[in-house]
Structure 1
Amino acid sequence: MATIKDVAREAGVSVATVSRVLNNNGYVHEDTRVLVNEAIRELNYKPNEVARSLYKKKSRLIGLLLPDIRNPFFPELARGVEDEMQAKDFRLIIGNADEKPSKELDYIDTFIQNNVIGIISATNHTKRDHYNNLSLPVVFLDRTSNDHPSVFANGMEGGKIAAREMVKRGCKRITLLKGPGELQTAQDRFKGAIEELCVSDVNFNVMATSSFSFAEGEKSAKILFKDFPDTDGVIASNDAAAAAILHEALRIGKAIPEDLQIIGFDDIPLSSLLFPPLSTIRQPAYEMGKEAAKLLIRLINNEHVAEKNIQLPVSFIERQTTRKVDDNG
C-alpha cells in the first residue's frame, strides 16, 4: 500500500507539499498540484482517514456497532448503512459486540479514540448511560430509544400478521417464542402476536428466549418439542430460531408443513435456501440501514430533522413451511 512518502518521491516534491494538496491547505503551484495528483492516481494512494481527521479537526468516520455479526440479518443492515455512507463520502468502522455490554463499551471507546463523528448502534443495550454521555450524534438501528433517533420495522404489525397467517392456515396449538426482554422491537413482535392470538379460537404457549442467536434457537427447539409435543404451529422470534426449530422438527420426524407450520421473522437470505424454504415476516433490512445512515448524516450536518423515529413496514413472505390457505378446507 502506497504511503504519502511514496507519493512525494514519485512527484519529486516534499511530504509537506503532498499534504497541502491533499488537504487543500496553503499555496501550491498549479503545475506542482498536477504532478502530485498524477502520482496519487498512479500509486492508487488512499489517505489515512484518522490522520487526516486529526490534522483537519474534521473526520469522515462513522462507527457502526452490531450485536452479533454471525446473524445474517445484521450484515444486511450494515450493507445498507455502508452503501449510503459511501455514496456521501463517509467511511465506516464496524464493531461486533457479541451481545456483551463490556465489549459494546470497549468499541464505543475505540470509536471515540478514532475520532468518529457519529455512531449507529444496533446493539441490545440502548438504555445504557454511555450513549447519553456522548457528545456526538447517535442513531439506533433495529432498536428503539427514548433518548436518541431510531430506525426500526413495525414489529407489532409483524407479530399480528404472523399470528393471523397461522390461524388462517388451521393451526390450533401454537407455540410463540418471545425474544430478548430488553429489546423493545422483540417485545413489539410478541405483543402483536399475543393480541391476535387472544381473540382467536386457538390454544397457545409462550417460550422465553434470551438471544436471537442460532445457538439459543437450538436450545429452544429441544425444549419446545419436549414441553409442547402437540404444537402444530411455531411463531419464531427470528429466522435463526425458526431455522433451528425446522432442523429439530425434521430430525424427530415431523412433516413440514403437514404436522408443523413455522413462521420466522426477518427474511434473511438463508430463509429461501432452507429446505423446505421458510415462510417469514420480512423486515426491509437493507432499506433500514440506508435510512439510519441518511438520518445520521442529517444530524451531523445540523439539518432539521422532523421525524426522528422512522418506522418501516413489514410483509408476509409465503414459502413452504406454511400450508396454502386452500389446503385447510
Structure 2
Amino acid sequence: MATIRDVAARAGVSVATVSRVLNGNGYVNKETARRVRRAIQELNYRPNMVARGLANRKTGTLAVILPDIKNPFFSELARAVEDTARTGGFTVIFCNSDDLGSREKSYIEVLRQKYIDGIIIASNTLGEADVAYINDNDIPLVVLDRGPGVGDCAVFRAKNADGAKMAVRHLLDAGCRKVAHIAGPEELVTARERLKGYREVAGAFPWFDESLIVPGRFSVEGGKEAVRRLLERHPDVDGIFAGNDLMAIGALKALQRMGIKVPDQVSICGFDGVEMTEWTEPELTTVAQPIYEMGAEATRYLIDRVRGKAEPKAVVELDVRLIQRGSTRRGAD
C-alpha cells in the first residue's frame, strides 16, 4: 500500500507539499499540484484519515446518537442525516443509546477520543453539564427532536404543541364528543409539549378529566395497554389522540381485537407521520413532522458549524401538517 512518502518521491516534492495538496492548505503552484495529484492517482494512494485527524483534528466524520433505531421515526431521521452528510463530503457513525444516559455519555467520550468533527444527538437525558463538556472539547453539537431545557447548543425540532392542538381539533371536527390522550414518557420534552397541546384544547370542554390521559411509553405495546386501561375508565370515549404513531398503531390493534370499529365507534390520530401509518387498515390519520427535512436541515447546520459558518446556539422549530386518513373519516367507504 502506497504511503505519503511514496507519493512525494514519485512527484519529486516534499511530504509537506503533498500534505498541503491533500488538505487544500497553503500555497502550491499549479504544476506542482498537478504532479502530486498524478502521483496520487498512479499509486492509488488513500490518505490515512486517522493520521490526518490527529494532525488537524478533522476526520470528515460526523456521529449520530439516537435513542432507538428500531423506531421508524429515528430510522427516517438517520437516513436524512446520512444522505445530507454524504453530499457534504462527510461520513457518518451511528450509535444507538437505548435511551440510556450512561450509554450516551460513554459514546460521547469515545467519539471525543476519535476526533469526531461533530455530533447530532436525540436525547432525553442530555443535560447542561453534558452540553458544556462537549462544548469545552470544541465539538460542534446539534440536538435533534428531543432537546434539553438548558445549555448552549443548536436544537432542531417540530412544533409539537401546535401539532397536538391540530390533532384534537381535527378529532372534534370529525364528530368526536370525548377525546382521550395516550401520552409519551413524561421525561421527554416532545411528550410534554404534545400533552400540553392536548390539555389546552380538551381542557376547555366540560367532559375533560385528567383520567382521560394515560401513558403509552411511545411504543406499540404501550398503546395497546393504554387503550385497555382507558376504556375501563371511560367506555364512552370516541376519539383518541396518541402522542406518536407507534402508540396509535397499538391503539388501533387493541380496538380491533375488542371488536370496536375504527373510525365508526372510535377515531384515532397519531403524531410523527412515519411511513407505516399507511400500512394499517384503516390507514392512520397523523400529524406529520417533516422528518427528512428536519434531519437534513440539522445536518447542514452541523456541517456549517464544523466549517465555522454558523453560530453554536440556535432553536429551529419546523411546521407540522395534518394528514387525514381512514382512522378519522367516519362514514367513509
- Residues 38-92 of structure 1: per-residue CA shift (max 9 Å, x gap): 443xxxx765533431244322221111010000000111222222222211221
1:187 aligns with 2:192: yes
The alignment's TM-score, normalised by the length of structure 1, stands at 0.85
Match of 1:158 in 2: 163
Number of residue pairs matched by the alignment: 317
Contact kept? 1:236, 1:263, Cα under 8 Å? yes
Partner AA of 1:312 in structure 2: L
2:38 to 34, 39, 53: 34
Q: Which moved more, 1:194-203 or 1:309-318?
A: 194-203
1:296 aligns with 2:306: no
Aligned CA RMSD, in angstroms, stands at 3.1
- Supply the distance in 2 between the matched residues of 1:306 and 1:101 (Cα, whole angstroms): 23
**Identical columns (%):** 34
- Supply the distance in 2 between the matched residues of 1:99 and 1:246 (Cα, whole angstroms): 26
- Supply the distance in 1 between the matched residues of 2:160 and 2:222 (Cα, whole angstroms): 21
Match of 2:146 in 1: 143
4+ residue segments displaced more than 6 Å? 16-19, 24-29
- Supply the distance in 1 between the matched residues of 2:129 and 2:206 (Cα, whole angstroms): 44
1:1-329 aligned within 5 A: 4=2, 20=19, 22=22, 30-31=34-35, 33-40=37-44, 47-127=47-127, 129-134=129-134, 135=136, 136-145=139-148, 146-147=150-151, 148-200=153-205, 202-203=207-208, 205-209=212-216, 211-305=217-311, 308-324=314-330
- Supply the distance in 1 between the matched residues of 2:304 and 2:34 (Cα, whole angstroms): 35
- Supply the distance in 2 between the matched residues of 1:188 and 1:138 (Cα, whole angstroms): 23
SS at match of 1:151: strand
Partner AA of 1:140 in structure 2: V
Gaps of 5+ in 2: none
Contact kept? 1:49, 1:61, Cα under 8 Å? no
- Supply the distance in 2 between the matched residues of 1:23 and 1:314 (Cα, whole angstroms): 41
Contact kept? 2:168, 2:198, Cα under 8 Å? yes
Contact kept? 1:141, 1:152, Cα under 8 Å? yes
Contact kept? 1:167, 1:202, Cα under 8 Å? no
Q: 1:296 to 1:206 in 2, by over 3 A?
A: same
The alignment's TM-score, normalised by the length of structure 2, stands at 0.84
Contact kept? 2:124, 2:189, Cα under 8 Å? no
Contact kept? 2:140, 2:312, Cα under 8 Å? no
SS at match of 1:234: strand
SS at match of 2:182: strand
Q: CA deviation at 1:170?
A: 1.4
Contact kept? 1:167, 1:200, Cα under 8 Å? no
Q: Which moved more, 1:153-162 or 1:58-67?
A: 58-67
